[in-house]
C-alpha cells in the first residue's frame, strides 16, 4: 500500500471512528413508534446510515414500504432529532484502535478534523462522551454548509479551517460516499473495512487503500 505525508487528516464519524448504530437504531425505533410505523432492526438501520439524518429517516420510513410524503418525512426528521438527542452516546463505542491511534497522530503534529453527514449538533457531545473530542481541531457536519458529502465542499472547508492545502490532506472513511467526496475534492482516501457503506462491500469502492483497524494508518504515514 502507498504511503502518505499529510499535514491534516479528516475522519468520517459513524462507521469509521465509532459504532453508533445502536443509538441511531434506538432513536429510529422511537421515531417510528411515535409515528405509528413498524419497527426496524439494528441491521436494517445500519444500511440506512451514510447520507445524513433526513435520508436515514426517509429510508427507515420507506424501504420495503410505501413512499412517504414531504410532510411525513418532516415529521419523522423532527421526531428522530428529538429522540437522538436523548440516545446519542448511550451505546455508541469507539472502534478498537481509535483511542490508541488519535493521540499518536497528534504527537506527530498532525491536525485532525471530523467531516461527517451527522448533524453538527450531535458531533461534539458524542465525542466528548467518548473522551475523544479534544483530539480534533474542527467538526464539520451534514448541516454545517449548504452542501454535504459526497459534495467536496465539506473537505475543502476543512482544509480552509485547518490552514492546509488539499495536497496536504488525507481522508479516512468507511463508504463510497466518503471515497466519492475525497475524489471530487482531490484528496487521497482510505476506507475502513468494518463500517456501514449502506450495505455495499467496501472493497468495491474507488479508494487508495483499505484498513481493518485505525492502528494500520500509522505505518502508512511517511
Q: Active-site residues: which are they?
A: 12
Q: What is the dihedral of CA 129, 131, 133, 136, to 10 degrees?
A: -160
What are the grid coordinates assigned to 198, written together? 449502506
CB neighbour list of residue 77: distance below 8 Å, 6 or more residues apart: 53, 54, 57
What are the grid coordinates assigned to 51, written together? 447520507
Residue 200 CB neighbour total at 10 angstroms: 13
CA distance 154 to 38: 35
Instruction: Check whether 151 is labelled as a binding-site residue.
Output: no
Instruction: Check whether 178 is labelled as a binding-site residue.
Output: no
Instruction: Check whether 137 is labelled as a binding-site residue.
Output: no
Whether 11 and 114 have beta carbons less than 8 Å apart is answered as yes
Binding residues: 12, 14, 174
Binding residues for Mg(2+): 12, 14, 174
Amino acid at each position: 500500500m502507498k504511503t502518505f505525508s499529510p499535514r491534516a487528516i479528516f475522519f468520517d464519524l459513524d462507521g469509521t471512528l465509532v459504532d453508533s448504530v445502536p443509538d441511531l437504531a434506538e432513536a429510529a425505533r422511537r421515531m417510528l413508534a411515535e409515528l405509528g410505523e413498524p419497527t426496524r432492526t439494528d441491521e436494517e438501520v445500519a444500511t440506512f446510515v451514510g447520507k445524513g439524518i433526513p435520508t436515514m429517516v426517509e429510508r427507515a420510513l420507506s424501504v420495503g414500504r410505501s413512499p412517504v410524503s414531504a410532510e411525513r418525512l418532516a415529521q419523522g426528521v423532527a421526531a428522530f432529532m428529538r429522540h437522538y438527542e436523548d440516545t446519542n452516546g448511550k451505546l455508541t463505542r469507539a472502534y478498537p484502535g481509535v483511542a490508541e491511534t488519535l493521540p499518536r497522530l497528534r504527537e506527530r503534529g498532525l491536525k485532525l478534523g471530523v467531516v461527517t453527514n451527522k448533524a453538527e449538533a450531535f458531533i461534539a457531545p458524542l465525542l466528548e462522551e467518548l473522551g475523544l473530542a479534544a483530539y480534533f481541531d474542527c467538526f464539520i457536519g451534514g448541516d454545517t454548509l449548504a452542501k454535504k458529502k459526497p459534495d467536496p465542499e465539506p473537505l475543502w472547508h476543512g482544509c480552509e479551517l485547518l490552514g492546509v492545502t488539499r495536497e496536504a490532506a488525507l481522508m479516512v472513511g468507511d463508504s463510497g460516499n466518503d471515497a466519492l467526496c475525497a475524489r471530487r475534492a482531490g484528496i487521497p482516501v482510505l476506507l475502513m473495512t468494518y463500517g456501514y457503506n449502506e450495505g455495499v462491500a467496501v472493497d468495491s469502492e474507488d479508494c487508495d487503500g483499505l484498513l481493518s483497524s485505525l492502528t494500520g494508518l500509522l505505518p502508512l504515514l511517511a
